[in-house]
Amino acid sequence: MTVELAIAVRAEHAEGPIWDAASQVLWWVDITGHRVHCFDPRSNRDCSWDTGCDVGAVALDSAGGVILALPNGFVRFDPA
C-alpha cells in the first residue's frame, strides 16, 4: 500500500473526517483549534471556518446539510 499526503494543513487536534459522496468533499474538524474544514480534492482546496468554540464532530443530515457538535449542543452549519 502506498500512502500520500492529501492535504498539508496544520491543526491543533484534527478529528472526525467524513466523506460527502454527493459533493465529493471531505469534512473534518480541528477540535481545540475551533475550526470546521471542507477539503475538495478536485481543486486541492481546503476551506475552514472559525466556530468560536471547541467543535467535537461534523456530520451530514439526510438532505446533505452539515451538523456540528458544539459544547452547547448540535447546530446546523451553512458555509454559504
What span, in angstroms and rounded, lies between the C-alpha atoms of 35 and 5?
Answer: 20
Q: Which of 45, 53, 50, 56 is nearest to 18 (CA)?
A: 56
Instruction: Please report which confidence band the pLDDT of residue 7 belongs to, taking 50, 70 and 90 as the band edges.
Output: confident
User: What ranges do the domains of the chain cover?
Assistant: 14-77
Give pLDDT, residue 61: 93
Give pLDDT, residue 41: 95
- What are 77's strand-pairing partners? 66
Q: Which pLDDT does position 13 carry in this prediction? A: 94
**pLDDT tens string 36-78:** 999 999 999 999 999 999 999 999 999 889 999 999 999 999 9
Q: Is the pTM of this model over 0.85?
A: yes
